[in-house]
A and B are shown apart, each in its own frame.
Chain A
Amino acid sequence: MKKLLIYILPIIFSLALCIQVNAEVTGNCVNCHTMHNSQGDSDMATYGGTSGENSCLTRGDCIGCHAYDTSGTVNVVNLIPQIWHNGAEDLAAGNFKYISTDTDANDNKGHNVFAIDQEGDASMFPSPGDQHDTGITQTGDTALTCAGKYGCHGDPDVADETTSMKGAHHADDSTIDGLSPGTSYRFLKGVLGLENPATAWQNVNKDDHNEYKGAANQGTSSRASPANGTISGFCAECHGFYHGSLGTETGGAASPWLRHPTDFVLPSIISKEYQYYNGGAGGTAAADYSMLAPLARPDLATITSTSEINPGTDIIMCLSCHGAHATKYYKLMRWDNQNNMSGCVICHTSKN
């Protein structure tokens, strides 16, 4: 019996791992699609409480499936990650519940996707740091969406958010190459990364988290293409002035920076405080990966230890400080930045 278990258990674990790594949807078509939005005289496109015809014959829009039960307490329903739920465990990108109550104070805790919660501050449109004329507006047909031309996921050249995701859920994403939405990290077209292999959708601890692509220079993103395939380059599609190499906006390629650098290697030189990242020993000595202020990797294929950060190699990114969807803190910060600098001092080690 023991021998049998020895053979069977690895197979079960491998299968489970494959299911989690690969986002390619499996199962019956009817789980997600409806031909006529009608079955037995009942509407079928009702996911998330919605009712109506959707592009691509889906039974729900983005929110319908990925915020299936906003009062529910689980963050994954039927293998579908719930970006807005009422549970305690946020996904890696956060939880849109933090902006879902319509107060200005909550508006600033996340990206104000119009279908979830309208941003109340008109000065936030177009997107702050907008270098590439996103055309995103506070309300109307060009308001912020989950996907498409006015959103983050899917094909940025397609206006309709569901259509922009066409085929993405069916793509073989065993190789993330950024060439299509389906083969891009989290369907963020052009972005590279490694999706958490152990605990799907969450960043749990230093041993169990997503890996983000970074680069040693900012490059220049466009509205539809992230520079260097990095997560920061992707943010720059809408917030370009915060990231690009434009000297008058970011300072160019080195100190003095005009805005906080991203896609910049954490310095390991001994005259700088950054060498002691997260309590490290200094120089290029590896330190524990910080969940509060994580860094990106220059080469996802050669990460020596996912639980460690190497000053002089690993890279500051937008997500070093911010969540992607929404967090419980002001300005999508990973920590309560209004009241403490606990995340800042992970890198700025002499400021503790």
Chain B
Amino acid sequence: MNNMKTIFLCLAILILLVGSISYAGTYLDSAHGTQNDSIAGVSRLSSYTDGHCAHCHEQHASIGGDEPPPDLPASPDDYLLFSDNHTGQTVNFCFDCHRGPTGGYQTGGLVNRSYSYRAGGWTSDTLDDILQAFTYGPPTSPTSSSSHNLDDIKLFITDKWGYSANSNPCTACHNPHAAQGDPANQPNSTKSIITRGWPVTLPSKHGSLISTDILWGDGSGEKMSDYATGYTYQAPYRFGSTTHYEPDGSTTTDGTNLTDYVTFCTDCHHYSSPPVSTRLTIPPDTNLKDIVWANSIHGGEDSWNRDDAIERKAPYNAAERNYVLACTDCHEPHGSSNYSYKIRKVVNGGITAVNGNTNADWDTLCSRCHTKTHEAAPVDHPCINCHYHGAPFNATKSLF
């Protein structure tokens, strides 16, 4: 009988704990909120402790009778932010701090690295801030580089999933009150198994108070290994290595340590109707390609031939499997100095140089994993002319 009482008591405590966890706050666990006192968090004003809401939100657009900098124009801003929320590709509230070691309002500056640096281990990458990543490509740079277009994102999310016309496009991917550093406050370090954090939230879960919705990638069922159930996720090599893998430099290869970025990205990139890109200037083809990853060769679809492993490079040639890739295996999330589509500068352990729409350029990407290449002569046919997201089927198989 006593055992029954003990069991009942334990169950009751468990229920209470689970109940409270379900709606627990996450701000203090976030990078802005000092990530459990492990880092400084937001820090703009000397009069408030690190991580305090006042660093970003001015309750009355005034402190000490004046609006503290930046105060031009000296007027209150949306969501009580200390400056404009979003007015363009390079004028965004987040960039007031996420703009490198100098020039921002975060005390001591703020360095952020590329995915190729953090996950890919390419520490030669000199990119050191988010603003710089978003200056790649149009509308602020020529088409020799690329980045997510923030105005396009803003347009897409408006009136979806709780977003409004006033929402900051950065919040399409990041919950500023929950996003964690990965790793936190170690700007010149790559990801490691002991420093992981979870920076993104599913766009479709924006504003949800349910604890499992607040971040994406941190919970069960939210890893690439989960997406790849029935297939094989194979982590690419880290830069210059054939023994350590993305994203954390460990020997883990099955995606149990990688956020399910397919589900994350296709929240928007497999939405009906698809996002519109202002970079695609020829109507009616301004919609981004619908990415149906389950039907793609690089996704859930079987390979063309079950014996073509010989045409792939390590670590994808170990056995004939139905490999499924993560979006971040090839793409930067913010921007890339590569021509278009945010192709990473480092893929599967080596450098890419997609500087234009030529066969030779695209070969630097495709050949990171494939041995087979197309001939350029007599006509220069870039791989991407046929092998692109959403490419039509050839017989029964997708061309991508």
Which positions in A face B, CB cutoff 8 Å? 108, 121, 123-125, 128-129, 239, 241-242, 248-251, 255-260, 271-273, 276, 282, 321, 330, 337-341, 344-345, 348-352
Contact = CB atoms under 8 A, between A and B. Distances in A.
13 contacts: A128-B60, A241-B60, A242-B60, A249-B76, A256-B166, A258-B77, A259-B59, A260-B80, A271-B208, A276-B23, A338-B52, A344-B53, A350-B26
B53 to A, nearest CB: 6
Contacts of B52: 337-338, 341
Contacts of B77: 258
Contact of A338 (B28, B47, B61, B64): B47
A284 to B, nearest CB: 16
B203 to A, nearest CB: 16
Nearest to B67: A128
B177 interface: yes
B27 interface: yes
B25 A349 contact: yes
B362 to A, nearest CB: 43
Interface residues of B, number: 35
Interface in B268-296: none
Most chain A CB within 10 A, of B47, B60, B61, B208, is at B60
A123 B207 CA distance: 38
Contacts of B162: 271
B62 A248 contact: no
Nearest to B27: A351
B25 A124 contact: no
Classify the interface of chain A: helix, strand, loop or mixed: loop
Contacts of B25: 345, 349-352
Interface in B289-343: none
B47 A271 contact: no
A86 B313 CA distance: 79
Q: Which 9 A-B pairs have the closest CB atoms?
A: A258-B76, A123-B65, A352-B25, A256-B78, A351-B27, A124-B65, A260-B59, A350-B25, A256-B166
A125 B64 CA distance: 10
Contacts of A258: 61, 75-78, 80
Nearest to A340: B49
A258 B79 CA distance: 6
Nearest to A271: B207
B84 to A, nearest CB: 12
B28 A352 contact: yes
Contacts of A257: 79-80
A51 B85 CA distance: 57
Nearest to A279: B20
Given A128-B65, A258-B80, A339-B49, 12 more contacts: A108-B64, A248-B75, A255-B164, A258-B61, A259-B59, A271-B209, A272-B209, A321-B59, A338-B48, A341-B52, A351-B27, A351-B33
A15 to B, nearest CB: 44
A104 to B, nearest CB: 10
Interface string B23-66: 11111100001000000000000011100111000111110111
A276 B20 CA distance: 11
Given A259-B76, A340-B49, A128 B62 contact: yes
